[in-house]
A and B are shown apart, each in its own frame.
Chain A
Amino acid sequence: MKLELGKIFIKDLQFGGETRVDGSTLIVCKEDVEKLVMEDERFLKVSVEIAKPGESTRITPVKDVIEPRVKVSGNGGIFPGVISKVDEVGQGRTHALVGANVVTVGRIVGFQEGVIDMSGPAAAYCPFSKTFNLCVVVEPREGLETHAYEEAARLAGLKVATYLGKAGREVEPDEVAVYETKPLLEQVALYPELPRIGYVHMLQSQGLLHDTYYYGVDAKKFIPTFMYPQEIMDGAIVSGNCVAPCDKVTTFHHLNNPVIEDLFKRHGKDLNFIGVILTNENVFLADKERCSDMTAKLAEFMGLDGVIITEEGYGNPDTDLMMNCRKITRHGVKVALITDEFPGKDGKSQSLADSVPEADLLLSCGQGNAMLHFPAMDRVIGMLDYIESQIGGSAGCIAEDGSFDAELQIIIASTIANGYNHLAAKGY
């Protein structure tokens, strides 16, 4: 499978009469976006706002962040099984509006959505403080059932991103990256002297607000499977979850998975990147045993020398992480884990909810219990009504001017456990 990813670098975002890319500026027709969102009768109203890096702007409660992409050539369309029809993706050419994002905002379930600050101390912890964000603030009709509202908000963001992505179809990209993975036997034969490395990607899959979709299928309903890394770049995986904001693997992060990106950087140089094993994080202990058995079996079957495993969320998934680590190690494959830490108020408690002795190589994405001051911002996109009950906030934490003290957990993707950020923790 071979994908050319054309990157169009966006350095400004403006409203205008027609949605298009002008040089490095993305111009968006606000009315078109509003109309698109309101096609879904489940919404009462929508407002569309722009947030730029460096502004005194706070966005909250944030549900998802999505990078606009478009399929220029090759099979299928972006977000197959969700927005486009079910069809294999990952071949041909795709364009991405790099530096621009769609941010869905609104009360979904009042507590699981996070904060993005466009400037100030919290901006250092959030990748979306540095991007040009088109914020889609939605409000559901009264009495809309929670599952239905979650779905409506999820689809609204994906629809808007797909719509914006189309503006990049005819644009000559600033940069084209080529990603190629051959069928297993050929790929192994291509670099026979290099270590064969795989990626075990654990998807959040526990229930409402804890689901992820692969070609539109709820991840808790599949058994571990092989995926070409290129598929994820065309939106084969979309996020439907709102775990702790800091832990959230947004749809942006699926499109721009850092492990896949970095493995490709060294592919053919000092490693042979064979492919991705997708697995899930279920509630049932028997499912955990079964899926980790299968993950280990696949790793062995693919002839891997080493794998990197990433997880999404704390607690329940830590057990999957450790089971995967133990079983894959016992199948003779070396393992590196990436995760974030929650060592409690004084930073002295155990960082993870589970552990096995085989987990002797773990890379930290920082600890989410550390406290941070969030100064007041001139502008709020969304609402501050839920700060106290959002994860990381606490009763009485917010002052009248809108400033507050909270744990890093409240910032979207601040300690994201797939290794996207530079934040890390060490022992003092």
Chain B
Amino acid sequence: MSKRIVHYINQFFGGIGGEEKADVRPEMREGVVGPGASLAQALGEDYEIVATIICGDNYFGENIDEAVAEIMEMVKKYEPDVFVAGPAFNAGRYGVACGTIAKAVAEQLEIPVLTGMYEENPGADMFRKDMLVVATPNSAAGMRKVVPVFTTLIKKLANGEEILGPAEEGYLERGIRVNYFAEERASTRAIEQLLRKVKGEEYHTDYPMPVFDRVDPCGAVTDVSKIKIAIVTSGGIVPQGNPDHIESSSATRYGIYDITGMDTMSPEDFMTVHGGYDRQFVLQDPNLVIPLDVLREMEKEGRIGELANYFVTTTGTGTSTGNAKAFGEEFSKKLLADGVDAVILTST
């Protein structure tokens, strides 16, 4: 009997449409669709892509729980030997969706999973520790190049064969430390590499240190009563209806919303979409995350100079540091242009 594969792709690769169709709900089709064709051909007769699941990237991002549940039901029905998602290349939302659904399948159904992304796809950093993510070029033009990588890994996963290192197999390193016997002992290797370092040549470390992207804090504010303050939050506060479709986790977007003339964050006007905490109290009183009520009082009393007439918001949970950094770099420019002197960051 041939090995069974279920393939997950987005609305674009499924041929449904581009951005305008990004909110389509998951649907399942028998057999191969889109990029699955080249995989199926390379895999040969002993493997069969039994079904393809197609889902809009926005639908997935904005309705993670529902989308995962729906897709999981579809996958279960086919009892696959391997679940393949993507590859997503450099498409951020697609990458996050591939990682999220593959992780859920691996954990809940205990089926081997495989996806593929460009290294700088935000989904890559989020999920490389959890699964095999094939390193792909940054666009679908590179599909042909990665097909053999996918087929080798799919076959190994289906047959429970040993997966070699990232360099041999072509996946992004998962950060798992695995022992091996080196040709030279560590003292010999250390001398070799140290001499290279001393000479200013390239050298190789066995263990790259974790890099923390630290930001030096600005100098202290001298007089709070004379400055303009803005509120920035990762607590997922958005206007009712979430007009900009900010995701409930793993955000790829942020929003800037007006509070001109408001003295308090009314639950009629605002809600939270954050998927990482119990939202009940914040839905009743959004001031818990955006303390507009208190800040307005302080503004009136002259204890702070001025409050900016908007707040900046996104969802922190699961959001890649790459995305978070990009948001910050972008909206800081606006804050500076608007003469904001300091921000209050609230998290949840």
Instruction: Give me the interface of A with B, judged by CB distance under 8 Å.
Output: 124, 195, 197, 258-259, 261-263, 266, 270-271, 305-308, 334-338, 341, 343, 346-348, 350-352, 355-357, 359-367, 370, 408, 418-428
Contact = CB atoms under 8 A, between A and B. Distances in A.
Contacts of A360: 205, 208-209
A195 B199 contact: yes
12 contacts: A305-B198, A307-B194, A308-B187, A334-B194, A336-B191, A356-B209, A362-B205, A362-B207, A363-B193, A422-B181, A424-B180, A426-B180
B109 interface: no
Given A365-B186, A422-B183, A271 B178 contact: no
Given A350-B210, A424-B179, A419 B186 contact: yes
A420 B197 contact: no
A347 B186 CA distance: 20
Contacts of A418: 187
A153 B186 CA distance: 31
B7 to A, nearest CB: 25
Interface of B is mostly: loop
Contacts of B181: 124, 422-424
B300 interface: no
A348 B193 contact: no
A363 B174 contact: no
Nearest to A425: B177
Given A336-B193, A361-B194, A425 B187 contact: no
B185 interface: yes
A426 B177 contact: yes
Interface of B: 129, 163, 165-166, 173-191, 193-195, 197-199, 203, 205-211
Interface of A is mostly: mixed
B210 A363 contact: no
Contacts of B166: 427-428
Given A262-B188, A338-B186, A424-B206, A351 B177 contact: yes
A361 B173 contact: no
Nearest to A196: B198
A348 B195 CA distance: 30
A238 B189 CA distance: 26
B180 A334 contact: no
A341 B210 CA distance: 14
Q: Which of A335, A347, A428 has the most CB of B within 10 A?
A: A428
B198 A306 contact: yes
B185 A361 contact: no
Contact of B186 (A352, A363, A367, A408): A363
Given A306-B197, A423-B181, A426-B206, 11 more contacts: A197-B191, A262-B188, A343-B177, A348-B177, A350-B210, A363-B186, A363-B206, A364-B186, A419-B187, A422-B181, A428-B177
B190 A419 contact: yes
Contacts of A370: 178-179
A421 B165 contact: no
Contact of A259 (B177, B180, B190): B190
Q: Which of B163, B174, B179 has the most CB of A within 10 A?
A: B179
A330 B284 CA distance: 54
Contacts of A423: 179-182
Contacts of B211: 357
B198 A428 contact: no
Contacts of A367: 177-179
A422 B193 contact: no
A343 B210 CA distance: 13
B175 to A, nearest CB: 5
A428 B166 CA distance: 6
A195 B195 contact: yes
Contact of A421 (B175, B185, B191, B210): B185
A426 B176 CA distance: 8
B182 to A, nearest CB: 4
B106 to A, nearest CB: 14
A159 B301 CA distance: 82
B167 to A, nearest CB: 9
Nearest to B173: A427
A273 to B, nearest CB: 10
A335 B196 CA distance: 11
Contacts of B190: 259, 308, 336-338, 363, 419
Contacts of A356: 209
B194 A306 contact: yes
A306 B195 contact: yes
A295 B198 CA distance: 19
A197 B194 CA distance: 9
- Nearest first, the 6 closest Cβ-Cβ pairs linking A and B are A419-B187, A419-B186, A364-B206, A258-B187, A336-B194, A424-B182
A266 B177 contact: no
A333 to B, nearest CB: 9
Contacts of A351: 177, 207
Contacts of A427: 165-166, 173-178
A418 B191 CA distance: 12
A366 B182 CA distance: 10
A357 B209 contact: yes
A308 B191 contact: yes
Q: Which of B175, B185, B186, B211 has the most CB of A within 10 A?
A: B186
A425 B178 contact: yes
Contacts of A352: 207
Q: Which of A195, A364, A424, A425 has the most CB of B within 10 A?
A: A424
A363 B189 contact: yes
A308 B194 contact: yes
B187 A362 contact: no
A1 to B, nearest CB: 21
Contacts of B180: 423-426
A336 B163 CA distance: 31
A348 B174 contact: yes
B195 to A, nearest CB: 6
Contacts of A422: 181-185
A305 B199 CA distance: 9
B280 to A, nearest CB: 34
Given A423-B181, A428-B173, A361 B186 contact: no
Contact of B197 (A124, A346, A347, A361): A361
Q: Which of A305, A355, A422, A423 has the most CB of B within 10 A?
A: A422
Nearest to B188: A262
A160 to B, nearest CB: 28
B176 A266 contact: no
A347 B197 CA distance: 28
Contacts of B183: 422
Contacts of A261: 187
A61 B187 CA distance: 28
A343 B129 CA distance: 13
A221 to B, nearest CB: 28
Nearest to B211: A357
Nearest to B189: A363
